[in-house]
Protein backbone atom coordinates (compact mmCIF):
# COMPACT_ATOMS: atom_id res chain seq x y z
CA UNK A 1 0.00 0.00 0.00
CA UNK A 2 1.32 3.42 -0.96
CA UNK A 3 1.27 5.87 1.93
CA UNK A 4 0.29 8.69 -0.41
CA UNK A 5 -3.24 7.29 -0.03
CA UNK A 6 -3.19 8.35 3.65
CA UNK A 7 -1.29 11.58 3.19
CA UNK A 8 -2.89 14.80 4.37
CA UNK A 9 -1.14 17.28 2.05
CA UNK A 10 0.79 20.29 3.28
CA UNK A 11 -1.90 22.71 2.10
CA UNK A 12 -4.40 21.08 4.50
CA UNK A 13 -2.04 20.89 7.50
CA UNK A 14 -1.31 23.66 9.98
CA UNK A 15 2.42 24.16 10.46
CA UNK A 16 4.82 26.71 11.86
CA UNK A 17 7.80 28.33 10.24
CA UNK A 18 10.99 27.99 12.24
CA UNK A 19 11.42 31.78 12.30
CA UNK A 20 8.03 32.40 13.97
CA UNK A 21 8.26 33.85 17.44
CA UNK A 22 7.40 31.82 20.51
CA UNK A 23 4.19 33.81 20.82
CA UNK A 24 3.15 33.26 17.18
CA UNK A 25 3.70 29.53 17.61
CA UNK A 26 1.63 29.35 20.78
CA UNK A 27 -1.19 31.36 19.21
CA UNK A 28 -1.35 29.12 16.14
CA UNK A 29 -1.32 25.94 18.25
CA UNK A 30 -4.08 27.34 20.44
CA UNK A 31 -6.15 28.39 17.43
CA UNK A 32 -6.02 24.87 15.95
CA UNK A 33 -6.20 23.09 19.35
CA UNK A 34 -3.13 20.97 18.50
CA UNK A 35 -0.78 19.37 21.00
CA UNK A 36 2.02 19.12 18.42
CA UNK A 37 2.62 20.82 15.10
CA UNK A 38 5.20 20.43 12.30
CA UNK A 39 7.86 23.10 11.84
CA UNK A 40 9.31 23.91 8.44
CA UNK A 41 11.83 26.39 7.09
CA UNK A 42 10.82 29.15 4.70
CA UNK A 43 12.14 27.07 1.79
CA UNK A 44 9.85 24.15 2.72
CA UNK A 45 12.33 21.84 4.48
CA UNK A 46 11.00 19.84 7.43
CA UNK A 47 12.81 21.08 10.54
CA UNK A 48 11.00 19.21 13.33
CA UNK A 49 7.87 19.16 15.38
CA UNK A 50 7.14 21.31 18.38
CA UNK A 51 4.76 20.23 21.14
CA UNK A 52 2.93 21.89 24.01
CA UNK A 53 5.54 20.41 26.29
CA UNK A 54 8.34 22.16 24.39
CA UNK A 55 6.62 25.48 25.00
CA UNK A 56 5.99 24.68 28.65
CA UNK A 57 9.54 23.52 29.35
CA UNK A 58 10.90 26.67 27.73
CA UNK A 59 8.66 28.87 29.86
CA UNK A 60 9.92 27.08 32.96
CA UNK A 61 13.57 27.09 31.91
CA UNK A 62 15.92 28.82 34.28
CA UNK A 63 18.02 31.35 32.40
CA UNK A 64 20.83 30.89 34.93
CA UNK A 65 20.62 34.45 36.27
CA UNK A 66 17.18 34.83 37.77
CA UNK A 67 14.35 32.61 38.84
CA UNK A 68 11.64 34.95 37.56
CA UNK A 69 9.15 33.61 35.01
CA UNK A 70 9.43 34.71 31.40
CA UNK A 71 6.85 37.18 30.16
CA UNK A 72 5.22 37.00 26.73
CA UNK A 73 7.18 40.17 25.91
CA UNK A 74 10.40 38.23 26.58
CA UNK A 75 9.12 35.48 24.30
CA UNK A 76 8.90 37.87 21.32
CA UNK A 77 12.68 37.51 20.99
CA UNK A 78 12.63 33.70 21.08
CA UNK A 79 12.12 31.79 17.81
CA UNK A 80 10.47 28.41 17.34
CA UNK A 81 13.79 26.95 16.11
CA UNK A 82 15.22 27.75 19.56
CA UNK A 83 12.83 25.42 21.41
CA UNK A 84 12.86 22.42 19.06
CA UNK A 85 14.20 19.15 20.46
CA UNK A 86 16.37 16.89 18.33
CA UNK A 87 14.90 13.69 16.88
CA UNK A 88 11.32 14.24 18.03
CA UNK A 89 8.81 13.17 15.38
CA UNK A 90 11.30 11.96 12.78
CA UNK A 91 9.91 12.19 9.25
CA UNK A 92 9.50 9.36 6.76
CA UNK A 93 9.94 9.40 3.01
CA UNK A 94 6.94 9.20 0.72
CA UNK A 95 8.06 5.73 -0.43
CA UNK A 96 8.15 4.14 3.04
CA UNK A 97 6.21 0.91 3.57
CA UNK A 98 3.20 0.40 5.82
CA UNK A 99 5.18 -1.68 8.31
CA UNK A 100 7.61 1.17 8.99
CA UNK A 101 4.76 3.67 9.06
CA UNK A 102 3.01 1.59 11.72
CA UNK A 103 6.23 1.41 13.72
CA UNK A 104 6.54 5.22 13.64
CA UNK A 105 2.89 5.66 14.61
CA UNK A 106 3.45 3.72 17.82
CA UNK A 107 5.58 6.60 19.10
CA UNK A 108 3.90 9.69 17.68
CA UNK A 109 0.41 11.03 16.93
CA UNK A 110 1.24 11.84 13.35
CA UNK A 111 4.10 11.09 11.01
CA UNK A 112 5.62 13.94 8.99
CA UNK A 113 6.24 12.95 5.37
CA UNK A 114 9.05 14.42 3.27
CA UNK A 115 10.06 14.03 -0.36
CA UNK A 116 13.51 12.95 -1.55
CA UNK A 117 14.89 16.46 -1.00
CA UNK A 118 13.61 16.72 2.59
CA UNK A 119 10.73 19.03 1.68
CA UNK A 120 7.67 18.71 3.89
CA UNK A 121 4.80 17.21 1.87
CA UNK A 122 2.25 16.50 4.61
CA UNK A 123 1.39 14.14 7.44
CA UNK A 124 -0.14 10.73 8.03
CA UNK A 125 -2.16 10.44 11.23
CA UNK A 126 -2.08 7.52 13.64
CA UNK A 127 -5.87 7.37 13.36
CA UNK A 128 -5.69 6.68 9.60
CA UNK A 129 -3.10 3.94 10.10
CA UNK A 130 -5.19 2.22 12.77
CA UNK A 131 -8.26 2.54 10.58
CA UNK A 132 -6.35 0.88 7.70
CA UNK A 133 -5.19 -2.08 9.79
CA UNK A 134 -8.51 -2.56 11.57
CA UNK A 135 -10.34 -2.60 8.23
CA UNK A 136 -8.18 -5.26 6.60
CA UNK A 137 -10.21 -8.25 5.53
CA UNK A 138 -7.52 -10.81 6.30
CA UNK A 139 -8.06 -13.11 9.28
CA UNK A 140 -4.43 -12.71 10.29
CA UNK A 141 -3.40 -9.37 11.84
CA UNK A 142 -0.32 -7.73 10.29
CA UNK A 143 3.01 -9.02 11.55
CA UNK A 144 3.71 -5.77 13.43
CA UNK A 145 0.37 -5.96 15.25
CA UNK A 146 0.99 -9.61 16.16
CA UNK A 147 4.06 -8.46 18.09
CA UNK A 148 1.97 -5.89 19.96
CA UNK A 149 -0.88 -8.24 20.83
Domain ranges of the chain: 3-148
- CATH code of the domain made up of 3-148: 3.10.580.10
Query: d(Cα 108, Cα 36) in Å, to the nearest integer?
Result: 10
Tell me if 79 sits within 8 A of 47, measured CB to CB.
Answer: no
Phi then psi dihedrals of residue 9, to 5 deg:
-65, 155
Q: Along the 149 residues of the chain, how does pLDDT read in single tens digits?
A: 678 888 999 999 999 999 999 989 999 999 999 999 999 999 999 999 999 988 888 877 655 555 566 676 777 888 999 888 876 789 999 989 888 888 888 889 899 999 999 999 999 999 998 888 887 644 454 555 555 54
Using CA of residue 131, residue 134, residue 138, residue 141, what is the dihedral sign? positive
**pTM tops 0.95, yes or no:** no
Amino acid sequence: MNIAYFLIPKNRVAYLYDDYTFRQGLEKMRHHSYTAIPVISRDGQYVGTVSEGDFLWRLLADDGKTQKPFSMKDMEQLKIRDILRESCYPPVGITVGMEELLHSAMNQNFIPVVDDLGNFTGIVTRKDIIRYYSGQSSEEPPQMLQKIV
